[in-house]
Structures are given as structure tokens and as C-alpha cells.
């Protein structure tokens, strides 16, 4: 069950480049470049009572706002920390590093369940953690060429891999220092020996290249989630440095759960479902 009433929520978007509010003209974010930090501000007002009535949920069900940002030219997905839904106006903010952006930027505001009671009041009421009950989004075209994603074309021959010409990609984690720059410690190798990947290497914006990018993006984020779940050091309540591995892994966890503890519990209960939910989130991009 989702909220269908268009008057239940009012959303206003604002964008800034390097701390200065900028205008959006005809769907283009002007003056953006790879060295720009894009700040997103979302002001939202919601009739909480109307939402609860439409969803047939009680006060025991905890709802939260999450911002999710994704780009058509990058496998990187970012998510804000959950903010509990309250009456009146609320502001959600997130900052995006220009080095991980490119193409069409989609920023989605979602209302999700952060906590649900053991017994729900209706068979149609949301009963799972992370259930998306409301979604609003905005899309912007970033001026400039394709995004600087951590992708390197590499020959897999000589890497000690059986049948190297049929392997596709390899996420190499050079360090698990959560405060280190993600661009410095994550190397995503694309296998130049695999002829099927040539469209992704040569024409990533073409139809076949776009399909491969969907698959690459899904697997990239799935592996990042596995890294986060396996980390003994990660604390999703900590404010890691901008662009760091810790910030990136925290944003991936935020896609599916309000904390690393909840994410681990969900994954232990049903890892297949978690990865399926992740697929749906990651590949919800502009065509």
C-alpha cells in the first residue's frame, strides 16, 4: 500500500554548488563540473494524520524520510540518513561529490517504514521495515561530459583467473580504512578481454551500453553492501569525511535500513529479499 493522495505532501527542491544556491534552467544544473559539491535541500510538508489513515497504520508504525540520489552515468548511489516524519515542515539535506556524478541526476524523496508493530491493523498496511509508502523525485541534467566513476579498463589475462575472457568486472578494495577517500581505495576493473563488454567501454550511453551499466551498477552496490555488512568498524551514526569509504558504505546501508544493525538483521533473515530490494532501488534511474 502506498500514499496516492497528491495533496498529502508538498515538496520544494533547492540546489547549491559549492555552498552557493544555483538556478535550474530547463532541467539543467548550470555551472556544474567534476570539482563541484552539489548540495540538495528538500523542504517537505506532510499531513501525517491523512497519511496514516490512508495506509491504515497506527501511531506505533514509525515513518521516516530518506533522500536517494543516483546518476545515469555512474554506479554510485547515495542516500541520506533517515529522518523521522513529523508534522509541519521538515528539511532534508545531502551533499554529493562532483567526481561521482554525471549525466542525468535523479534525487528521490521517499517515505519509508522505520519500525512496525508486531501486529498491524490491516492486512493491506505496510508490515516490513524499509517499505516505501511515498515517493517524489526531481531530475536534472548535469552540464559536462560523463561522470568520473571509479571504472578502469583492464586486461584480466595474467591475473590468475580461469577463463579470463569470460569474466566481466572486479571490484578491488585496496584498503578498508573508512576515513580514506573512496576513489583512492575502490578500483572497479572492467575486463577488456570480454568482447561482450565493448559497448560499455566504447558507447556507454548507447542502448546496449546502458543495459550493461544497469547490471554493473547493481552488482557494484551489492558488493558495497556486502563490504558494509562485513565491516567490524563501521558505525552508520558516525559522520565520516565527505567522499570517504565510510560515507559511501553508510549511504548504501541507508538505502535499505536505518542502521547497520537493522541491515544485518534483515540480511540474516532473508539475504535474497534484501538484494532484490537493492536491485529495485539502484536501477530506478532515468532512461
Judgement on whether residues 220 and 260 belong to the same structural domain of the protein: yes
C-alpha cell at 124: 493491506
Q: Are residues 270 and 211 in the same domain?
A: yes
Q: Indicate if 116 and 172 belong to the same structural domain.
A: no
Same domain, 137 and 201: no
**Do 163 and 138 belong to one domain?**
no
209 domain-assigned:
yes
Q: What are 118's three cell numbers?
A: 508486531
Q: What is the pLDDT of residue 150?
A: 60
**Beta partners for 139?**
106
**Predicted pLDDT of residue 1:** 55
| Other beta carbons less than 10 A from residue 119's beta carbon | 8
* In a shared domain, residues 136 and 166: no
Q: Are residues 256 and 228 located together in one domain of the fold?
A: yes
In a domain, 202, yes or no: yes
Residue that is last in its domain, among 94, 112, 142: 142
pLDDT computed for residue 209 by the predictor? 84
Same domain assignment for residues 162 and 276 = yes
Evaluate whether 207 touches 196 at the Cβ level (below 8 Å).
no
Are both 182 and 94 inside the same structural domain?
A: no
* One pLDDT digit (tens) per residue for the chain, 287 residues: 567 666 778 999 998 887 888 777 667 776 676 667 889 999 999 888 888 888 888 888 889 999 999 887 677 788 898 999 987 899 999 988 776 677 778 999 999 988 877 776 666 777 788 888 888 999 887 754 344 446 788 899 888 888 889 999 999 898 999 998 887 788 888 999 999 999 888 887 788 888 888 888 889 999 999 999 999 999 999 989 877 899 889 989 988 888 999 999 999 999 999 999 898 888 764 34
Question: Domain holding 100: CATH number?
Answer: 2.60.40
Q: Would you say 150 and 171 are in contact if contact means Cβ atoms under 8 Å apart?
A: no
Report pLDDT digits (tens) over 163-197: 889 999 999 898 999 998 887 788 888 999 999 99
The full 3-state SS of the chain, as one line of letters, equals CCCCCCCCEEEEEEEEECCEEECEECCEECCCCCCCEEEEEEEEEECHHHHHHHHCCCCCCEEEEEEEEEECCCCCEEECCCEECCCEEEEEEEEEEHHHCCCEEEEEEEEEEEECCCCCCCCCCCCCCCCEEEEEEEEEEECCCCCCCCEEEECCCCCCCCCHHHCCEEEEECCCCCCCEHHHHEEEEEECCCHHHHHHHHCCCCHHHHHHHHHHHHHHHHHHHHHHHHCCCCCCCCCCCCCEHHHHHHHHHHCCCCCHHHHHHHHHHCHHHHHHHHHHHHCCCCC
Query: How much is the pLDDT for 91?
Result: 94
Domain-embedded: residue 287 = no
Within 10 angstroms of residue 145's Cβ, the number of other Cβ atoms is 10
In a domain, 214, yes or no: yes
User: Would 2 be classed as within a structural domain?
Assistant: no
Prediction pTM value: 0.63
Q: In angstroms, what CA-CA distances link 44 with 48, 95, 155?
A: 12, 18, 48
pLDDT value at residue 148: 45
Whether 35 and 79 share a structural domain: yes
Domain count, the chain: 2
Domain range for 85: 9-142
First and final C-alpha spacing in the chain: 26
CA distances from 173 to 22, 176, 214, 267 (A): 36, 7, 21, 22
- Residues 9-35 as b/e (b if ≥16 CB within 10 A, e otherwise) read beeebebbbeeeebeeeeeebeebeee
pLDDT at 24: 74
Same domain? For 261 and 187 the reply is yes
Domain-embedded: residue 1: no
Residues 121 and 166 in one domain: no
Q: Evaluate whether residue 207 is within a structural domain.
A: yes
Amino acid at each position: 500500500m502506498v500514499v496516492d493522495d497528491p495533496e498529502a505532501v508538498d515538496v520544494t527542491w533547492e540546489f547549491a554548488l559549492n555552498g552557493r544556491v544555483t538556478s535550474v534552467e530547463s532541467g539543467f544544473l548550470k555551472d556544474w563540473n567534476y570539482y563541484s559539491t552539489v548540495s540538495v535541500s528538500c523542504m517537505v510538508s506532510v499531513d501525517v494524520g491523512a497519511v496514516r489513515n490512508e495506509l491504515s497504520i497506527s501511531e506505533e508504525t514509525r515513518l521516516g524520510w530518506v533522500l536517494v540520489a543516483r546518476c545515469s552515468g555512474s554506479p554510485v548511489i547515495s542516500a541520506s540518513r533517515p529522518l523521522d516524519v513529523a508534522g509541519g515542515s521538515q528539511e532534508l539535506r545531502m551533499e554529493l561529490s562532483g567526481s561521482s556524478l554525471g549525466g542525468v541526476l535523479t534525487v528521490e524523496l521517499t517515505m519509508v517504514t522505520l519500525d512496525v508493530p508486531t501486529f498491524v491493523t490491516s492486512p493491506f498496511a505496510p508490515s516490513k521495515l524499509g517499505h516505501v509508502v511515498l515517493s517524489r523525485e526531481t531530475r536534472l541534467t548535469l552540464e559536462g561530459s560523463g561522470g568520473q566513476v571509479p571504472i578502469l579498463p583492464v586486461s584480466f589475462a595474467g591475473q590468475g583467473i580461469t577463463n579470463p575472457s569470460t569474466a566481466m568486472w572486479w571490484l578491488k578494495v585496496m584498503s578498508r580504512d573508512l576515513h580514506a577517500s573512496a576513489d583512492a581505495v575502490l578500483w572497479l576493473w572492467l575486463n577488456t578481454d570480454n568482447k561482450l563488454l565493448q559497448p560499455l567501454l566504447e558507447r556507454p550511453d548507447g542502448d546496449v551500453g546502458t543495459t550493461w551499466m544497469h547490471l554493473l551498477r547493481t552488482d557494484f552496490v551489492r558488493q558495497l553492501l556486502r563490504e558494509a555488512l562485513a565491516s567490524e568498524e563501521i558505525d552508520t551514526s558516525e559522520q565520516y569525511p565527505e567522499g570517504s569509504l565510510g560515507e559511501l558504505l553508510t549511504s548504501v546501508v541507508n538505502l535499505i535500513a536505518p542502521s547497520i544493525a537493522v541491515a544485518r538483521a534483515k540480511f540474516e533473515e532473508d539475504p535474497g529479499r534484501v538484494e532484490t530490494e537493492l536491485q529495485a532501488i539502484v536501477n530506478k534511474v532515468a532512461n
